[in-house]
Amino acid sequence: MDPVILIDADACPVKEECYKVAARHDLKVFVVANRLLQVPRHDKIERVLVPHGPDAADDWIAGRADPHSIVVTADIPLAARCVKAGAFVLAPNGKVFDEASIGMALAMRNLMEDLRSGGETTGGPKGFSPRDRSAFLAALERAIQQARRRTKD
């Protein structure tokens, strides 16, 4: 079984990179969103349109995440669900979410959310840079190799 790439696509800045890397490795890509997005016409790229509503895309992705999946998302709770399912999980900036890092990422997200709800100005995420794109590409290549090794076991 070949790995598949599941993209939480609504605000993902690295969709094109995923398509190119997946084509090079002949992998299936699912582009999951609750609105119509343009995707390349390719038999290995499938657009999945989920209903509007909270967590519909997350539920679709988490329901299919397994040890042969590579999930691309910046959504920390979704990342936690996918890590628990055994998937490789990458943020668009190349950060790898795994058993060792997901607890701290969730705690930091919750802390920042609490601060914001208490009126604290925390600022937003930093801008997406060429360095982030490069880190993502390297992390995606590693994840594909690791997922392929898993499929042989």
Q: Give the chain's mean pLDDT.
A: 88
Three-class DSSP category at 69: strand
pLDDT tens sequence across 69-105: 999 998 889 999 999 999 999 999 999 998 777 666 6
The Cα 39–Cα 71 span in angstroms is 17
Find, among 5, 8, 62, the residue nearest to 33 by Cα: 8
Structure tokens at 56: 């519909």
Structure tokens at 48: 């999945």
pLDDT tens sequence across 98-113: 877 766 666 665 666 6
The Cα 102–Cα 147 span in angstroms is 19
Find, among 20, 132, 134, 13, the residue nearest to 72 by Cα: 13
Convert 109-145 into a string of H (helix), E (strand) and C (coil).
Answer: HHHHHHHHHCCCCCCCCCCCCHHHHHHHHHHHHHHHH
Q: What is the pTM of this model?
A: 0.85
Structure tokens at 18: 């995923």
**Hey, which bits of 1-153 come out as E strands?**
4-8, 28-33, 45-49, 69-72, 88-90, 96-97
Domain segments of the chain: what residues? 4-99+125-152
Q: What CATH number belongs to 4-99+125-152?
A: 3.40.50.720
